[in-house]
Structure 1
């Protein structure tokens, strides 16, 4: 394929310090996410707040899925899908930092993991916002191109996720009642960040024609939907807490499985295309 220097076609260069920040994040996400998903009893010992079995696996799925977009930036630092990744990275880390700060009463006093949590997310948030501001002109170009083939599907998903994310944030008792397990206000507000960050990424993606950006976010979507659905079934097989006579577990797990399946199918479509 003919080489080009057009940033509309090749993505963005990852600054060195941001690349190092993302590398550290990947190592931590792999370790922490793996522990949350595969060794939940061990994770609960070190986690900064009290976790229930379902929340442990759900967080593990989020952490493991978040590795994918960062890996794309690490592997291709000269032409990374940073126009999508950086806004999501800055938003999600800042959002988690703010929500955690508002719910310090939920943190377990005296645990060493509490200050570590705030330090790590503080550093990630600062790096994300700093580089997002410094590269804002390039990031904004993601919305100036021709709409891609699946733009309406991306926007439809973004709207649904955005509405639900705002619902968890502003009307937590109502929207959290749709979950298969009980969510307190802290976890409702915490998880709303996942839906809002996904909304941001999908909306930006609906204007992007860069193959690596589509492949990156679709693979992330596939992993997230799949791991969350698997985590729900694995936990309930162990503790038998869900009421499967209620529609909530079926609807909730089916929607996440569908979300993951859409990501998987679109990933296969992108893999069959000619590389950028």
Structure 2
């Protein structure tokens, strides 16, 4: 059994601490989000971004506590894509960051170091893990993950590369910078959802937690700000409908993966 290295655990806990700090602050005290990140965000944006960070931070925490290297392959991928995309996006908006804030310097430090370290650990995992026979998730789970992943991938690419379209289509006020900031984490979640369709079932639990947490938290956070949504507008229906369907699909997949995780520990097939 390939164990996770100490350095890899430190990486996960470092990313986890930042993610949970930003996520907890933004979700439960959205008016204080600027203390965690060098951005000024209205409450709904703060809670939506916090939903992403809480999902990501929880995945990193679980990965840091995992035992086998294969269990953290997908979390390492999502951390690398997420932080790398945010680091690149931030370079296009340097004038929006106040260099007098410590959070600005930490933001750029984190989103420079985390993706580089993540890429290094991905390469190490490829060398240490074998490509033996895999037991895939049931077909219905893989179909759900494929649909969720494809939809999230399309939305994330639009946010990153055609943000103007998404600014017009978003169900509440959005600017170009925030559109692209949303795109980075969503791209990471989309990629791991798609990777789960071909991954061994024992690799999928941590990722299933993350792709379930985000839509559930974002849906609940949106309900706190219903006054910002136009009733029955197409964009509002797509937003709540999409998050609701993603939440149900995520719970279904997570429940199945968790049950198999328990059975495998008991020695059941």
| Residues 1:247 and 2:234 aligned together | yes
1:112-123 superposed matches below 5 A: 112-123=102-113
1:164 aligns with 2:155: yes
Structure 1's 141 and 235: CA in aligned 2 closer, same or farther, altered over 3 A? Answer: farther
SS of 2:33's equivalent?
Answer: helix
Q: Tell me, what secondary structure is at the counterpart of 2:225?
A: helix
Q: After superposition, give the CA deviation of every residue in 1:191-227 in whole Å (9 maximum; x if it has no partner).
A: 111222122101211111233x322222212211110
Matched, 1:20 2:10: yes
Work out the CA distance in 2 between the residues paired with 1:63 and 1:227.
10
- When normalised by structure 1's length, the TM-score is 0.86
- Pair 1:108 & 2:95 matched: no
1:26–1:70 Cα contact (<8 Å) kept:
yes
Distance 2:214 2:180 in 1: 19
Query: For 2:137, which of 128, 144, 148 is the aligned residue?
Result: 148
Provide structure 2 residue ranges, at least 5 long, that are not aligned to the other structure: none
Is contact 1:165-1:193 (8 Å) kept? yes
**Alpha-carbon deviation of 1:264?**
0.9
Deviations 1:94-151 (A, max 9, x none): 1111111221112134222111111122221221011112323457949x74643122
Segment of structure 1 superposing worse, 33-42 or 173-182: 173-182
Task: Give the equivalent residue in structure 2 for 1:261.
Answer: 248
Distance 1:258 1:139, change over 3 A: farther
Question: Which residue in 2 is equivalent to 1:177?
Answer: 168
What is the total number of aligned residue pairs between the two structures?
A: 261
RMSD: 2.2
Q: Distance in 2 between matches of 1:145 and 1:257?
A: 31
Q: Quick check: 42-51 or 91-100, which moved more?
A: 42-51
**Would you say the 8 A contact 2:85–2:184 is kept in 1?**
yes
Q: Normalized against structure 2, the TM-score is what?
A: 0.88
For 2:212, the equivalent position in structure 1 comes to 222
SS of residue in 2 equivalent to 1:160: helix
Taking the aligned partners of 1:45 and 1:23, their CA distance within structure 2 comes to 20
Distance of 1:103 and 1:71 partners within structure 2: 30
Matches of 2:43 and 2:68, distance apart in 1 = 41
d(CA) in 2 for partners of 1:162, 1:78: 28
The runs of 5 or more residues in structure 1 that have no matched partner are 6-11
**Residues 1:46 and 1:71: Cα distance change in structure 2 (over 3 Å):** closer
Alpha-carbon distance in 2 for matches of 1:141, 1:257:
36
Matched residue of 1:13: which SS?
coil
- Evaluate the alpha carbon distance shift between residue 148 and residue 69 of structure 1 in structure 2; reply closer, same or farther with a 3 A threshold: same
The separation in 2 between residues aligned to 1:141 and 1:161, in whole angstroms, is 27
1:275 lines up with 2:229 in the alignment: no
Range with greater deviation from structure 2 (133-142 or 108-117): 133-142
